Amino acid sequence: AGGVATPKRHENKPVPKEKEEDLVRRLQQICTDADPTKLYGNLVKIWQGEYAGIYTAHQAGTNLSVVIKQMDLEKQPKQDLIINDILAMRSSHHPNIVNYVDSFLYKNDLWVVMEYMEGGSLMKVVTVNPMTEGQIAAVSREVMQGLEYLHRHGVIHRDIKSDNVLLSMVGDIKLTDFGFCAQVSDPVHGKRRSMIGTPYWMAPEVVTRKEYGPKVDIWSLGIMAIEMIEGEPPYLNEHPLQALYLIANNGMPKIANPENLSGTFSDYLAKTLEVDVEKRPTATELLQHPFFNLSEPLWTLMPLIRAAKEIARNK
């Protein structure tokens, strides 16, 4: 078992002191005032980035398996996203949204504790395994259920992609990473205009800076379905700016072998990737789509998850 480690510190543009002090004040209002090293043990580092480290750990007393993201606040380039992420996770309670456990401010590091989804991200599965229509339908249904819950509560995720879908070893599927999410006061008619998200998954109305609402997540989920077919989103080999141009001008993206898809799947893709926002269905409407009747049991994902983890171990 590893100990508590300080994330690697890299030179980057310092955060203005007033902004950092404001962040600390806001975090103090929502974080638990305690020493997390006394509450969580058996920390093992599983990832280290420029500004944060990620650990698996066990909660003292319950032995609950958790994942801890430990962030050096001084070095965080997008501090507003941190608050956004915590507040959205803390207020969201749904089987298809990753469970928030706790957060702590400790020695100028922020610790965010979440349930551990030991299967990793869907991205690791789609890049190494072909998926059947039934498996794609099962994953899409679970994510759609999470989106329906968020949209009903006035939250737009704005960064739906395979990296932000987590799996358990038995195929449970949960949405994570709410840093880019937006809260709209009116769940049906509330609109945003800022261009936020990851380029290849962005809806045309986001790219063209039009007003948009929750249906941007529906488009991104359609792109994620293409990821599950082809192993990557459309235009991934293009420069991000060229990809944005193509998204804005090409309409529904093409896939390599559309004749291999069932009519039901093709219709689902056409509806999620409808450029006309008025015609693009809501999450609630799409949950009634016959494509989801093709869903295989979630346990059928287990071999894919195990294979992806084995490939990652051997790299």
Question: So which residues are the catalytic ones?
Answer: 159
CA 197 to chain centre: 11
Q: Calculate the alpha carbon distances from 106 to 4, 33, 44, 160 in Å.
A: 12, 8, 18, 31
- The tokens describing 122, both together, are 């869907």
Residues 6+ apart with CB under 8 A from 275: 204, 251, 252
Length of the chain: 315
Q: What long-range pairs does 252-260 form, CB within 8 A, spacing at least 24?
A: 253/223, 253/226, 255/226, 255/229, 255/230, 256/230
Give the whole-angstrom CA distance, residue 203 versus residue 164.
Answer: 17
Nearest residue to 143 via CA among 264, 248, 268: 268
**Cβ contact 203:221 at 8 Å:** no
CA 3 to chain centre: 28
